[in-house]
Amino acid sequence: MNIVKRINVFSLVNLITFTLVIPFNSIFTEACTSMMIGKNATVDGSVILAANDDWSGTPSHLVRVPRKKHNPDETFTLIRGEKIPQVDVTYAYTFASCVYDTGTRKDESWLFGMNENQVAVSMDGVYNFKELSLDGHLLEADDLSLLVLERAKSAREAVRMLGALITKYGFNTSSIYGAEGTVTMAIADPNEGWWFEPVPGGKWIAKKVPDNMASFRPNSFGIHEVDLDDKDNFMMSEDLVDYAIEKGWFDPKENVPFDFAKVYTQRVERGNETDTYNNLRRWRMASLLSGQEQSEDELIYEVVPTKKITVRDAMAVLRDALEGTKYDLSKVPEAGRYGDPFFKGMGDSISRSGTVVSQVVHLRSWMPNEIGGVMWVAFDTPATSVYVPWYAGITETPKGYTIGYAQQYDPASAWWRFQEVGNLSRRQFNKAAEKDVKPVWKKFEDEEFALAGAIEKTALDLYEKSSKEESIQFLNNYSNAQGMKASEMALDLANKLRGKYLDNSVIDW
């Protein structure tokens, strides 16, 4: 399959710029990591969705979109320009994005986020699939996550909605030059999580994450053995199996379980689930989340943890660069004398220098949605950044979090500030990152988690004894204050690093 096939979305100028900034072979096939933790596998009975959005060269925005009422004649404009009917009401949501223009959409691209109903979503690019006929297929990856955030009341409803839309309008590869793939989507709410895996050409399947397990994806489909009779834990397009039989990809007479990932993928040059950069991340997530080292030779996509998982455990996984393993990137010769684990850029580890934004979404059923949902967000690679809590009930994000564009360093942009800290940390990683950056952010996060109980108790008291509006305003003020404080600290920290680490010299009086 020729992954790079068309360039009809970009103007020539944008295409040239985009290609120079983001070479396909080095970036997109190795981008993004997601995981979900079932409610019986977490310390507090919550569901956790955690993900790194990896795509070097694209800044991120963090934006709050309000709930909106729509007229009967309004439409939703797809990436490709076609229009489909709009729903009566679209929900409020907070999203973090890769900032690039694609088709008809600007900035709202490759969305990670959470809506007012505590429905959260993330996406990983997938490039190993059997491409079916694409004629007349309208939806693509960048449409799907936005539709979930705008329309879903629950994860299960989101899966059904996406399946119905794909059945009606079809599903195509991405229009982004150099990234004409599909996705595996993580969709979660306070009760359950689902993986949604669509095949360009209009086929799709979804699998529920077992409540007692941690489940994860690198850049590959991960739904293998399918119980076709289990309607509670699997959903799929009606003709998914019949089509595979018709094409000769699956023979039910062999009396083996239907294996979606095996049946609907084919070997490509880059992007197979057994390629090093996919296999190492999957193995490492399986080992960290289970609490014991797993086999590198097995296609493990979910594990039962030996201990209950916390939000901070999920953050630690997203920050991992294979430390302490035989693949420790800081110990190889290429890491240099300062032990830079990010020398490969988009390397084989979960944490990478090309991470645009990282999120850990905490979804809790026993609180009002406005308080129960918390989207912890770190701009740039989380290894040298800090997570800030944004509650589901916020009404806005600071301006600095909504600006910043590729190739345009902007000191007013929160993303560029955190990115500068990450970049400058790499001048002498084992000193700058380990001694000057990580301790600062750990202290900041320690304080956030120490305060969380009191913050949420105050918000609940306001919600129950005063008004919902006062509770929302309180949380909005808190999240925005933390965001602005972290951004100012990043600006100050970058200036200190810039002055202290001068090439191979250290100015430390």
Q: Residue 508 has what pLDDT? A: 65
Taking alpha carbons only, the member of 22, 319, 365 closest to residue 188 is 365
The H or E element containing residue 402 is none
Retrieve residue 242's tokens: 């019949």
At residue 160's C-alpha, the angle toward residues 156 and 165, to 5°, is 145
Domain of 202? 12-501
Alpha carbons 220 and 206: distance in angstroms, whole number: 14
pLDDT recorded at residue 434: 96
| Domain CATH number, residue 39 | 3.60.60.10
Report yes or no: 179 and 21 within 8 Å, Cβ to Cβ: no
Residue at 83: amino acid letter: K
End-to-end CA distance of the chain: 58
List per-residue pLDDT tens for the chain, 509 residues long.
333 333 233 333 333 333 333 333 334 445 799 999 999 999 999 999 999 999 888 899 999 999 999 999 999 999 999 999 999 999 999 999 988 878 888 777 889 999 999 999 999 999 999 989 999 999 999 999 999 999 999 999 999 999 999 999 999 999 877 778 999 999 999 999 999 999 999 999 999 999 999 999 999 999 999 999 999 999 999 999 999 999 999 999 998 999 999 999 998 888 899 999 899 999 999 999 999 999 999 999 999 999 999 999 999 999 999 999 999 999 999 999 999 999 887 778 999 888 999 999 999 999 999 999 999 999 999 999 999 999 999 999 999 999 999 889 999 999 999 999 999 999 999 999 999 999 999 999 999 999 999 999 999 999 999 999 999 999 999 999 999 999 999 999 999 999 999 866 777 65
CB count in 10 Å sphere of residue 408: 10
State pTM to two decimals.
0.93
Count the Cβ atoms, other than its own, within 10 Å of residue 104: 15
Evaluate whether residue 1 is within a structural domain.
Answer: no
- The Cα 166–Cα 236 span in angstroms is 11
Q: Is residue 7 part of a domain?
A: no
- Is residue 450 one of the residues assigned to a domain? yes
Number of domains the chain is built from: 1
Encode 135-151: b = buried (16+ Cβ within 10 Å), e = exposed.
eebbbbbbbbbbbbbbb
Place of tokens 């699998």: 207
- 3-state secondary structure (DSSP) of residue 488: helix
Q: How far apart are CA 166 and CA 169, in angstroms?
A: 5
Instruction: Indicate whether 399 belongs to any domain.
Output: yes
Tell me which residue of 60, 51, 57, 95 sits closest to 184, measured CA to CA: 51
User: What span, in angstroms and rounded, lies between the C-alpha atoms of 117 and 412?
Assistant: 31
Does some domain include residue 2?
Answer: no
Q: Is residue 455 part of a domain?
A: yes
The verdict on residue 508 lying in a domain is no
